[in-house]
Homo-oligomer: A and B are copies of this chain.
Amino acid sequence: MALIVQKYGGSSVGDAGRIRNVARRIARTKDEGNQVVVVVSAMGDTTDDLVKLAYQISEHPDRRELDVLLSTGEVVSSTLLTMALHSMGYPAISLTGAQAGIHTDTAYSRARILKVDAKRVAGELEKGNIVIVAGFQGITEQMDVTTLGRGGSDTTAVALAASLGGGECQIFTDVEGVYTADPRLVPGALKLAEIGYEEMLELASYGARVMHSRAVELGELFNIPILVASSLTDSPGTLIHGEVAMEVRNKVRSVAHDFDVAKITIVGVPDHPGIAASIFIPLAEAGISVDTIVQNASIDHITDLTFTVAKSQLEEAMAVIAPIAGSIGARDYVSTAHLGKVSIIGTGMQNTPGFAARMFRALSEAGVNIQLITTSDIRITCIIDEDKVTGAVRALHRAFELEVK
């Protein structure tokens, strides 16, 4: 009997009708002779509503308390989905993150999974139950509830698949899979039948909101094939796995974008060892994700340091930087909020020259000014003005012939 771990996002379980729809999909998977574990997110806007409630009470809600509060959303949807399966005659049981053995560190609101003790889940599967696990949450050694932060339920699903000894992980969401670009921006974008872990990681990290990179990383680490598909249709979706057909490797696979970029430049920084650490360690400790970092070549041991953060964290980042800029003897520090980024991604770029040149030419012809550039082995990213992002994505999708299968 094969093991399948399915995950359903919040919009897939937004109301009673949708919950019943999801229950029917789960039942079908069970009928096909599989053992089924399902990870479920909170219904619709539940999490946002709970956050609002917390901020009605307190301007700075305690993170431990906020995690306990938010974890209730997934508990609610897991019990309702279980009841829906019961009413269709299927044996099922809901488990909280704690009951499912999702053990995490104590980093409230962005906890990391330390280990999964899947004894209870395995025992319920043995009894013939479909096991419905509340996603996005875990428990510390002290038995305190944590939440896993963005992409948490996807991560729960892959972690459970890994600890139950393999099987396939199916992530059902409101998109039909991974595309050559966001179809809302590029009408001719095509769905990919498969994609490698690394490409998906870059895509996830550089703006594709289909899946969070944490879950993909975990999939790669434990070699768990991850299917991303729609919970509303039966279209086949995209399989993220390790053995992607060789013939598709030698090209750009997808164009990713992100409208949510802000830039901070610290001007006139004395360039000596330890300067970067004195800036970026406090930012990390404040929970601010720094993305691209660029340091200009220094003249007379003075340099400029530029980095990007999410717009929502700009204000907080500037507050962290203010005292540091003074103490390291920087001349000034400035920020820009209205930026975005576009990336081309594909393992083919590793072996073939000329991708960067084609990218820059396409952007130039589209009238897009490039502010910063960063690259990895399989990705080239340009930071550009926010209002140029849509045009840039379309230009790149054309330039790399992604409309053509």
Contacts and interface: CB of A to CB of B under 8 A. Distances in A.
A75 to B, nearest CB: 5
A130 interface: no
B83 A96 contact: no
A104 to B, nearest CB: 16
A87 interface: yes
Interface residues of A, number: 39
A237 B56 CA distance: 31
Given A20-B57, A57-B16, A68-B96, A50 B76 contact: yes
Nearest to A134: B68
A70 to B, nearest CB: 9
A58 B72 contact: no
A59 interface: yes
A84 interface: yes
A76 B84 contact: no
Interface string A126-165: 0000000000000000011100000000000000000000
Given A16-B53, A143-B99, A84 B58 contact: yes
One complex includes copies of this chain to the number of 2
A385 interface: no
Nearest to A80: B57
Contacts of A56: 16
A56 B84 CA distance: 9
A88 to B, nearest CB: 9
A98 B75 CA distance: 15
Nearest to A68: B79
Contacts of A120: 143
A69 interface: yes
A329 interface: no
Nearest to A50: B76
Contacts of A59: 87
Contacts of A69: 75-76, 79-80
Contact of A60 (B53, B65, B75, B87): B87
Contacts of A362: none
Interface in A51-77: 53-54, 56-62, 64-66, 68-69, 71-72, 75-76
A86 B68 contact: no
A94 interface: yes
Given A57-B19, A69-B76, A75-B69, A83 B62 contact: yes
A49 B99 CA distance: 25
A93 B143 CA distance: 13
Contact of A62 (B61, B66, B71, B82): B82
B50 A65 contact: no
Contacts of A61: 83, 86
A84 B86 CA distance: 39
A61 B87 CA distance: 8
Interface in A77-135: 78-80, 82-84, 86-87, 93-94, 96, 98-99, 120
Contact of A83 (B54, B72, B75): B54
Given A60-B87, A64-B93, A86-B65, A54 B72 contact: no
Given A75-B72, A86-B58, A80 B93 contact: no
Nearest to A98: B143
Interface of A: 16, 19-20, 50, 53-54, 56-62, 64-66, 68-69, 71-72, 75-76, 78-80, 82-84, 86-87, 93-94, 96, 98-99, 120, 143-145
20 contacts: A19-B57, A57-B84, A58-B84, A58-B86, A58-B87, A59-B87, A60-B87, A62-B82, A62-B83, A65-B83, A65-B94, A66-B83, A68-B79, A68-B94, A68-B96, A69-B76, A69-B79, A72-B72, A98-B143, A99-B144
